[in-house]
């Protein structure tokens, strides 16, 4: 029996996972995976535009939002197991995956390992590359600073990198909501996830095997996963489209929801139309 609404708890392989599930029964399912160190509420604006036609689900990755962290060391592989376990618990057959940044890393690994479970892919502000030695060093320094001084300094620096310069003048509500999401992630989960991200494997070499429609979105001013790495994914995939979102950096769906949603809606309506009316 489906539970409908927000902040629903379910047990996935012994872990309490929190999720939102809205939209009509039987409609194509769009499953959203958030970035680091955020949570499922970052997709609220996308739920609003899709939920009359499509079933939309977003969950909190372990250690983020309201999901438990468990006791294991985090890894992208573990996050993929959680995703598949979550899909099984909700009895989701095949879904369209939409992941931002870390959510995209999880999505790419999931589709590589379980291609039969996914019919479409939206990659926002993400990449197929592994961390460079310099990036790994930065993550290690961040872990050390969080352990020694707490998370405040690290989170403040992260905010500066996430948003476009102009957004600091015009998007205070969005910035505050991202700060609020970040502040709920424990120092332990921040460090655990930073380590998982630093050792993740590249997925570029498998991109040409993906047989599903792919939409690649990236904020024009994204400094973390810039348009150049989005273009690399475009070049390596067969059924993909790239759209560069204006007036946005790393959080394209939050900084320019109008343009982001237009692209998202066009993509799902084109490849995964629903028989329910949009209003």
Single residue of 83, 102, 151, 214 touching ligand MLT by CB under 6 A: 102
What's the Rg (C-alpha) of the chain? 17
The tokens of 243 are what? 């759209």
Nearest approach, Cβ of 237 to ligand MLT (angstroms)?
20
CA distance 149 to 27: 48
Which of 197, 214, 218, 249 touches ligand MLT (CB under 6 A)?
Answer: 197
Out of 23, 28, 35, 257, which residue is the one contacting ligand MLT (CB under 6 A)? Answer: 35
Q: Within 10 Å of residue 248's Cβ, how many Cβ atoms?
A: 28
Per CB under 6 A, 124 contacts ligand MLT: no
Among 87, 121, 224, 254, binds ligand MLT (CB under 6 A): 224
Nearer to ligand MLT, 197 or 207 (CB): 197
* Contact between 20 and 47 (Cβ < 8 Å): yes
Is the bond leading into 148 cis (omega within 30 degrees of zero)? no
Structure tokens at 175: 């910035």
Does 119 engage in binding with ligand MLT (CB under 6 A)? Answer: no
Nearest distance from residue 142's CB to ligand MLT, in Å?
A: 10
Residue 101 interacts with ligand MLT (CB under 6 A): yes or no: yes
- Joined together, the tokens standing for residue 75 give 């890894």
Distance separating alpha carbons of residues 207 and 87, to the nearest angstrom = 23
**43 is a contact residue toward ligand MLT (CB under 6 A):** no
* Token digits of residue 147: 């352990």
142 binds ligand MLT (CB under 6 A): no
Report the interface residues with ligand MLT, using CB under 6 A.
35-36, 101-102, 197, 224, 250
């Amino acid at each position: 029996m489906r539970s409908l609404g927000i902040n629903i708890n379910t047990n996935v392989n012994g872990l309490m996972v929190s999720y939102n599930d809205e939209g009509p029964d039987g409609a194509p399912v769009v499953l959203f995976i958030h970035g680091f160190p955020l949570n499922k509420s970052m997709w609220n604006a996308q739920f609003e535009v899709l939920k009359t036609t499509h079933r939309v689900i977003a969950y909190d990755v372990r250690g983020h939002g309201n999901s438990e962290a468990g006791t294991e060391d985090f890894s992208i592989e573990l996050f993929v197991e959680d995703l598949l376990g979550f899909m099984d618990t909700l009895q989701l057959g095949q879904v369209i995956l939409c992941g931002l940044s870390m959510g995209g890393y999880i999505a790419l690994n999931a589709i590589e390992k379980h291609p039969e479970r996914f019919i479409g892919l939206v990659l926002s502000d993400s990449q197929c590359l592994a961390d460079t030695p310099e990036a790994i060093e930065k993550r290690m320094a961040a872990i050390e600073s969080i352990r020694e001084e707490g998370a405040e300094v690290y989170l403040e620096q992260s905010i500066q990198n996430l948003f476009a310069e102009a957004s600091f003048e015009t998007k205070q509500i969005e910035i505050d909501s991202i700060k609020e999401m970040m502040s709920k992630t424990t120092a332990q989960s921040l460090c655990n996830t930073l380590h998982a991200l630093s050792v993740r494997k590249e997925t570029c070499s498998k991109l040409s095997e993906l047989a599903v429609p792919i939409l690649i979105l990236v904020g024009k001013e994204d400094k973390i996963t810039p348009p150049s790495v989005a273009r690399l994914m475009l070049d390596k995939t067969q059924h993909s489209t790239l759209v560069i979102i204006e007036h946005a950096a790393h959080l394209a769906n939050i900084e320019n929801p109008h343009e982001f949603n237009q692209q998202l809606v066009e993509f799902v309506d084109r490849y995964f139309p629903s028989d329910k009316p949009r209003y």
